[in-house]
């Protein structure tokens, strides 16, 4: 049974009219509230996505399964990494695909990739959950950090590495919402800035600055943790 | 490159952190349970079946906006019909059914046996105050029919105020006059004795029997009492007995 920490989600910027408003320490956050999405952000869909979407509109089950297989795991992990518990993450994945099957015309290939569309829907749902009052969700530590099973030679090295990663994930969980989502999308999900900007509906520059600030915050927290342990 | 030159120490830390973060992402292999996929597939099939079964319905799906417009039009129509209907029932009548002016009798209260003739004090509808016509059902009822109706429906229906007033008059021997306002309370009414010719009675809406009509042709006048309502218009009539012209002349009127 992994230890469970409870933390408060910060207001998701750019979508929830929080009473606190944009953060004072983030001058670009205010701009991102009303910033329209760049038309240049429209990323070309991956080859075959247009065809998949057409087949899905025609009601082909195989197309739906193919899309599900390709995207369900990243979406699930995204929800978990954003702080949703397991049940909520499953519900979120389910809702995203129900939305896709109900209105497949919602995905417009000319406006971006299928992945950015699905992540956009997922993020919207997460924000909805946040609005409904689930501001406190339990963060389950990623106890299933997979990887190669450690060989007898580097067991201790692997264990310390895992401890470091667990610390990092805890520090990530403590980040404010707007920074965490950027880190999750750009670093954990390894998305380009343009795609992340399309999902979060803000400018590419905002993504870059938020990511930089988030990294700084993470470093500070990790250093504080190290100092605390040493002392 | 530029960033590295400007912040060499930070750059190293940032690169290490970015590497750690991407490693964290790569190591995270959590995945959606299979039952989510199965549930979604079930829903997908159900949805497809529903779509195939109702292709026509989906093609001609109701647009909520048009449904709202239709509902608003319907409401307007119903409201207009009700308004028209209520006006036709209780609205101001300026002429009788046969196109003649409505006879209205205004009698100065307190005067005794004031003879009222055609065109004497009767006012036409154009000069009279607007009269609120009685409900058609109550207007056409004779005293006998009113009593019968009251007996039949006693305790079963709620009698409207107009009909209730008319019934009270009938019970006391009065004949309600048409074109009067039956809604006015009876307590404000005044009784005025008058002498009326057959023509004046006809103007009040009281039609005489053939025998009485023949007598009236000889110039007979009738002693009666008029019940004057709060609006100074005659509401009901009560006959005493017919008197001849000579009798009237004998009385010096």
- Spatial strand order of the sheet with B234-243 comes to B114-116, B190-197, B221-228, B234-243, B175-176
Please indicate, yes or no, if residue B87 is contained in any of the structural domains.
Answer: no
Please indicate, yes or no, if residue B139 is contained in any of the structural domains.
Answer: yes
Please indicate, yes or no, if residue B188 is contained in any of the structural domains.
Answer: yes
Q: Which residue has the higher pLDDT, B153 or A231?
A: A231
Task: State the nearest Cα–Cα gap between B49 and chain A, in angstroms.
Answer: 10
pLDDT at residue A154 in the model: 75
Q: Over chain B, what is the mean pLDDT?
A: 67
Please indicate, yes or no, if residue B102 is contained in any of the structural domains.
Answer: no
Indicate whether A196 pLDDT > 90: yes
Q: Over chain A, what is the mean pLDDT?
A: 76
Least confident residue range of A35-44, A58-67, A122-131, B10-19? A35-44
Indicate whether B85 pLDDT > 90: no
Q: Which residue has the higher pLDDT, A24 or B188?
A: B188
Out of B31, B36, B52, whose CB is closest to A94? B36
Q: What is the pLDDT of residues A152-165, one digit of tens each?
A: 677 888 888 888 88
Least confident residue range of A140-144, A223-227, B92-96? B92-96
pLDDT at residue B62 in the model: 63
* Cα end-to-end distance, chain B, whole Å: 129
Please indicate, yes or no, if residue B89 is contained in any of the structural domains.
Answer: no
Distances (CA, A) of A178 to A10, A37, A121, A202, B112: 8, 16, 16, 11, 98
Residue B14, strand partner residues:
none
SS3 assignment for chain B = CHHHHHCHHHHHHHHHHHHHHHHHHHHECCCCCHHHHHHHHHHHHHHHHHHHHCHHHHHCCCCHHHHHHHHHHHHHHHHHHHHHHHHHHHCEECECCCCCECCECCCCCCCCCEEECCCCCCECCCCCCCEECCCHHHHCCCHHHHHHHHHHCCCCCCCCHHHHHHHHHHHCCCEECCCCCCCCCHHHCEEEEEEEEHHHHHHHCCCCCHHHHHHHHCCCEEEEEEEECCCCCEEEEEEEEEECHHHHHHHCC
Q: What is the pLDDT of residues A203-225, one digit of tens each?
A: 999 999 999 999 999 999 888 88
Least confident residue range of A9-23, A105-119, B22-36, B238-252? A9-23
Chain A interface residues (partner B, CB cutoff 8 A): 59, 61, 64-65, 68, 72-73, 75-77, 80-81, 89-90, 93-94, 97-98, 101-102, 142, 144-147, 164-165, 168-169, 172, 183, 187-190, 212, 215, 218-219, 222
Residues B127 and B204: their CA atoms lie apart, in Å, by 16
Q: What is the pLDDT of residues A53-111, one digit of tens each?
A: 888 888 889 999 999 999 999 999 999 888 888 888 999 999 999 999 888 888 888 78
pLDDT at residue B198 in the model: 79
Task: State the nearest Cα–Cα gap between A71 and chain B, in angstroms.
Answer: 10
Name the domain count of chain B. 1
Please indicate, yes or no, if residue B127 is contained in any of the structural domains.
Answer: yes
Contact by Cβ (8 Å): B108, B120: no
pLDDT at residue A134 in the model: 55
Whether residue A61 and residue B45 make contact (CB cut-off 8 A), yes or no, is: yes
Q: Which residue segments constitute the domains of chain A, with CATH numbers given?
A: 36-140 (1.10.1740.10), 155-231 (1.10.10.10)
ipTM: 0.71
Least confident residue range of A11-15, A128-132, B96-100, B168-172? B96-100
Domain that holds residue B247: 114-251
Most confident region among A144-148, B62-66, B123-127, B196-200 by mean pLDDT: B196-200
Please indicate, yes or no, if residue B170 is contained in any of the structural domains.
Answer: yes
Contact by Cβ (8 Å): A132, A20: no
Please indicate, yes or no, if residue B44 is contained in any of the structural domains.
Answer: no
């Amino acid at each position: 049974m992994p230890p469970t920490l409870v933390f408060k989600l910060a207001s998701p910027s750019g979508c929830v009219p929080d009473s606190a408003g944009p953060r004072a320490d983030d001058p670009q956050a205010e701009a991102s509230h009303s910033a329209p999405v760049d038309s240049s952000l429209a990323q070309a869909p991956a080859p075959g996505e247009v065809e998949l979407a057409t087949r899905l509109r025609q009601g082909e089950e195989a197309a739906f399964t193919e899309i599900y297989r390709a995207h369900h795991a990243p979406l699930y992990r995204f929800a978990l990494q954003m702080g949703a518990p397991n049940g909520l993450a499953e519900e979120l994945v389910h809702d995203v695909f129900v939305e896709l099957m109900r209105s497949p015309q919602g995905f417009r290939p000319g406006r971006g990739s299928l992945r950015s569309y699905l992540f956009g829907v997922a993020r919207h749902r997460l924000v909805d959950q946040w609005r409904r009052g689930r501001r406190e969700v339990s963060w389950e530590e990623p106890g299933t950090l997979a990887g190669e099973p450690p060989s007898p030679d580097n067991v201790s090295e692997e264990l310390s590495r895992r401890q470091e990663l667990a610390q990092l994930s805890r520090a990530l969980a403590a980040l404010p919402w707007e920074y965490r989502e950027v880190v999750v999308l750009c670093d954990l999900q390894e998305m380009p800035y343009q795609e992340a900007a399309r999902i979060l509906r803000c400018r590419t520059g905002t993504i870059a600055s938020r990511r930089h600030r988030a990294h700084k915050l993470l470093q500070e927290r990790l250093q504080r943790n190290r100092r605390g342990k040493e002392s | 490159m530029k960033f590295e030159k400007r912040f060499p120490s930070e750059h190293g830390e940032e690169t290490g952190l970015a590497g750690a973060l991407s490693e964290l992402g790569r190591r995270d292999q959590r995945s959606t349970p299979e039952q989510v996929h199965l549930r979604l597939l079930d829903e997908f099939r159900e949805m497809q079946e529903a779509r195939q079964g109702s292709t026509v319905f989906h093609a001609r799906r109701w647009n909520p906006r048009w449904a709202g417009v239709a509902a608003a039009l319907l409401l307007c129509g119903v409201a207009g019909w009700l308004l028209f209907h209520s006006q036709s029932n209780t609205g101001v009548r300026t002429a009788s059914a046969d196109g003649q002016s409505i006879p209205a009798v205004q009698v100065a209260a307190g005067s005794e046996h004031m003879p009222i003739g055609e065109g004497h004090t009767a006012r036409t509808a154009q000069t009279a105050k607007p009269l609120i016509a009685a409900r058609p059902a109550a207007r056409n009822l004779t005293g006998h029919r009113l009593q019968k109706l009251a007996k039949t429906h006693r305790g079963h229906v709620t009698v409207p105020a107009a009909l209730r007033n008319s019934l009270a008059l009938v019970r006391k021997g009065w004949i309600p006059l048409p074109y009067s306002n039956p809604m006015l309370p009876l307590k404000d009414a005044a009784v005025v004795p008058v002498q009326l010719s057959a023509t004046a009675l006809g103007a009040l809406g009281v039609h005489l029997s053939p025998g009485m009509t023949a007598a009236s042709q000889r110039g007979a006048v009738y002693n009666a009492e008029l019940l004057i309502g709060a609006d100074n218009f005659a509401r009901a009539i009560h006959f005493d007995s017919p008197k001849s012209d000579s009798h009237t002349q004998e009385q010096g009127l």
